[in-house]
Amino acid sequence: GERLEAEFFAVALELLKPADKQMNSNINLVDETKFKEQEVDKYTITIPDYLINNVAKEVGLIRKANSKGKSPNFLYIMDYNQFKVPDEYKASAKLNNYYLASKWMNAVFPLYYQSIDCPDCLLDKDDWLINMVAASYIAKDFSNNQDFKNQWAKIYKIISFFSGLRYDFTYLHYNEILS
């Protein structure tokens, strides 16, 4: 569970990181659609060795955005076409990366496992259990940190203003199960 939680956030952070083609290469040229050289450190993290392969595979599938396949992190078949970046986000490197990271953060930790009652569910019971433990860790981490909850509430309010109330599961739903 802890490994999946770490991979989940590492993928999001890796998606925010500027690719070489997204950076201003000429120090005298200011291209506002690209990252400045001094911003690179802000968006760069060191991923632990034991996570590098799965994170790199997941990020590669997300950036290609042209297939369905088994997620190296979630272990279920994911439609990576959902990560196609709309044209209005492609014009800016930061918006492009934000879009990908926010889509990833909306990835689902399935609530049900394959059984007679749910033959089309995404995961077998063992993989589902790992996903639920990871989701529970994330919910617990958010619930125990008032700053996280405040930041989440601000973001949720802005998104709700523009797109209406969300019906996706949030950390509150997972946390309720833990209580």
pLDDT single digits (tens) 121-156: 878 888 888 888 888 888 888 888 999 888 878 877
The label of the residue with tokens 């590669």 reads 60
Q: What is the pTM of this model?
A: 0.77
Q: Which residues contact 165 (CB under 8 A, 6 or more apart)?
A: none
With residue 70 as reference, give the H or E element that holds it: strand 68-70
Question: What's residue 29's pLDDT?
Answer: 67
Using alpha carbons, list the distances in angstroms from residue 143 to 5, 12, 60, 74.
15, 20, 31, 23
Are residues 101 and 63 in contact, defined by beta-carbon separation less than 8 angstroms? no
Where does the pLDDT of residue 27 fall: very low under 50, low under 70, confident under 90, or very high at 90 and above?
Answer: low
pLDDT single digits (tens) 36-72: 887 888 888 899 999 999 999 999 999 999 999 999 9
Indicate the burial class of 153 (C-beta count within 10 angstroms; 0-12, 13-18, 19 or more).
Answer: exposed
Question: What's residue 166's pLDDT?
Answer: 67
pLDDT single digits (tens) 86-125: 999 999 999 999 999 999 988 777 767 778 888 888 788 8
Are residues 47 and 6 in contact, defined by beta-carbon separation less than 8 angstroms? no
Are residues 98 and 61 in contact, defined by beta-carbon separation less than 8 angstroms? no
Whether the predicted pLDDT of 174 surpasses 80: no
Nearest alpha-carbon partner for 8 in 171, 124, 179? 171
Higher pLDDT, residue 119 or 1: 119
Report the alpha-carbon distance of residue 153 to residue 133 in Å, rounded: 23
